[in-house]
Structure formats: C-alpha cells, structure tokens
C-alpha cells in the first residue's frame, strides 16, 4: 500500500512539473525565442508555406524586440501621459502588424489569424481580471 501511495505522489509531482514546463513561460524567453515560438504556432495553426514562415518570422522577431523594449518600461514609473503614449505606440505597431500579415497570409489564413488574435486578447484580459 505504501508503494502505491508513493507511486501516485511521484506521478502527480511529475505531472505538475511537466505542466509548468509545457505552459510556455514566456517571461524567461528571449525576444527571439518568443518570435520563433510564435512562428511555429502560427505555422501549425495556419499551415504556412516556407515562404510565409520566413516573412512571418521576420515580423515576429521585429515585434518581439519592439514590444519587449516597450514593456520593459515600468508602468508604475510612468506618468499618465507617458502610459497613454505607450498604449498609443503599441496600438500603432499592432495596426502595422495587421497590415503586414494581410499582405503575407491568404484571405482564409488572415481571417483565422485575426480570430486567434481576438481570442488571445480576450484570454489576456480575462487572466488579468482574475488575478486582481
């Protein structure tokens, strides 16, 4: 009986650790790793061609670097005007990103990507709302 309990505890511990590692903790990733991860996920979800993959990788790399710098600024250290300017800059980048993706992806892929973006945005809002 003790062996069974020990095995169950070991399995649960292993499963919890595997979930933590598999959850994609992006806070420990470099911008390049995040861009590569994002491109791989998009390739899987949107069935990107090799030509599309290289273009999407370039966009994701540029965005990861830019957003990393913008997010690196401590929001608590910013005035309301600076926070507003930061939000505005991020929206500008997102709009430009949408235009670039529209040029690269087929209509069907773009619709699916746009839907994924909206779901991702909503998921982020829900997570932030639950953590407060």
Task: Tell me the per-residue pLDDT of 65-84, one tens digit each, with 9 for 90 and over.
Answer: 888 777 776 666 778 888 88
Distance CA 41, CA 112 (A): 13
| Contact in structure between 46 and 78 (CB atoms under 8 Å) | no
The confidence score (pLDDT) of residue 5 equals: 67
| Contact in structure between 93 and 67 (CB atoms under 8 Å) | yes
The confidence score (pLDDT) of residue 53 equals: 93
The confidence score (pLDDT) of residue 96 equals: 92
| Contact in structure between 117 and 125 (CB atoms under 8 Å) | no
What is the three-class DSSP state of 51? helix
Distance CA 104, CA 100 (A): 7
Q: Could you tell me how far CA 20 lies from the centroid of its own chain?
A: 16
Question: Confidence class of residue 130 from pLDDT cuts 50, 70 and 90?
Answer: low
Residue 49 Ramachandran class (φ > 0 left, ψ -120 to 50 alpha, else beta)? beta
Which pair of tokens denotes residue 26? Answer: 């992006």
Which pair of tokens denotes residue 39? Answer: 């491109």
Give this prediction's pTM.
Answer: 0.68
| Contact in structure between 101 and 113 (CB atoms under 8 Å) | yes
């Amino acid at each position: 009986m003790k062996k069974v309990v020990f095995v169950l505890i070991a399995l649960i511990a292993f499963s919890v650790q595997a979930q933590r590692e598999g959850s994609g903790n992006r806070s420990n990733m470099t911008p390049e790793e995040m861009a590569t991860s994002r491109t791989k996920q998009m390739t899987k979800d949107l069935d990107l061609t090799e030509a599309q993959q290289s273009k999407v990788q370039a966009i994701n790399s540029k965005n990861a670097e830019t957003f990393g710098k913008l997010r690196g600024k401590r929001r608590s250290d910013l005035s309301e005007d600076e926070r507003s300017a930061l939000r505005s800059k991020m929206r500008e980048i997102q709009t430009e990103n949408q235009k670039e993706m529209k040029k690269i992806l087929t209509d069907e892929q773009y619709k699916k990507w746009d839907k994924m973006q909206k779901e991702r945005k909503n998921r982020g809002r829900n997570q932030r709302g639950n953590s407060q």
